[in-house]
Structure 1
């Protein structure tokens, strides 16, 4: 479904991504783990067209989407839930969700989107008239993921969904990630919580200093001694 070939991205003279190669197949949850500054968010932003690639190719369902403007990604059934949630604090929960479906014109489709999100996240239904800025961090993360689901994406890009959340919300968010995947949405997960990411994923890639250093079955990567020591706090 998603294929990345020899992807290179620069920030000025800084070579942030160095020849990235990776694939995400339909129906998978694929995680990308790595330390701060490894290039995880840069990779996601390059896929989404927020950051321009200097060289290489990003393909989605066989179509070259390298450096496509971000607004076109939604029309191609790709959604992103960004790091830091980025909800609109003055707008209500429902208004935030409606913005996620800004390209959708059919009222029935929009209502189906609300129903889907509220079924996944009952707390949002309880607070649909509440301003997003008054929600807790965990509830804002639910809202960010729900907003990304509103247009009915085939591919969902999740950037650090557990960042800054209390443990109970982390568990809840990862349960929802697995449920969203069961509903037929393919997921690329960027996550610093390697333990949770690997346990939820089918396959994984390890990114270090802009280079993929390891990839394969998520459970095998989780059992690798180097990964245990560097990212899981074991060994």
Structure 2
């Protein structure tokens, strides 16, 4: 006897969900194939973001795996960490660095400067068809970033005048601190010791890739890629 309000289609259970190291994905996004639907075609050897608004972590893990099929000597990734959780980002970073250490070429296009600085050894900055930079990551940050030495002392005014006599650029900061440009930390320490200035802090701060990048593209518009 049929049920007055339920039909077999309403009572049928959905296929089980699959899980990967990056999380869970629904049955329509699972990489398994069945006789009821055609086999899924793999994407090309490079990995690009999906045109869908929010690809799932399972989708991203499949795309990365597909890009690695055939053990390619050249790997091109566009925004590779989008959609990954913290563990997935770290695993992907370690994988890409290990591949580069083996002699492979890994090209990454990304707007995430912090993550790029952790994985990239060499940067290429292109804006509107023009090459703005083609250099090592450390050299790019050193040239275009803001590096300074943070000094804290009970006598900031007197020490600042002393350092300015050595051609340093000194900027006062809150809490009795000084940001010093033009003199390395070792020379600042020796000058403070010679003048009898006590130091509460003496630390070198290197500019970030984000600051250096924004400085380079400041006059180039907002469509620059790195």
Structure with the greater relative contact order (CA < 8 A, sep ≥ 6): 1 or 2?
A: 1
TM-score normalized with structure 2 length? 0.40
Structure whose alpha-carbon radius of gyration is higher: 2
* Structure with the bigger percentage of strand: 1
* Structure with the bigger percentage of helix: 1
TM-score normalized with structure 1 length? 0.39
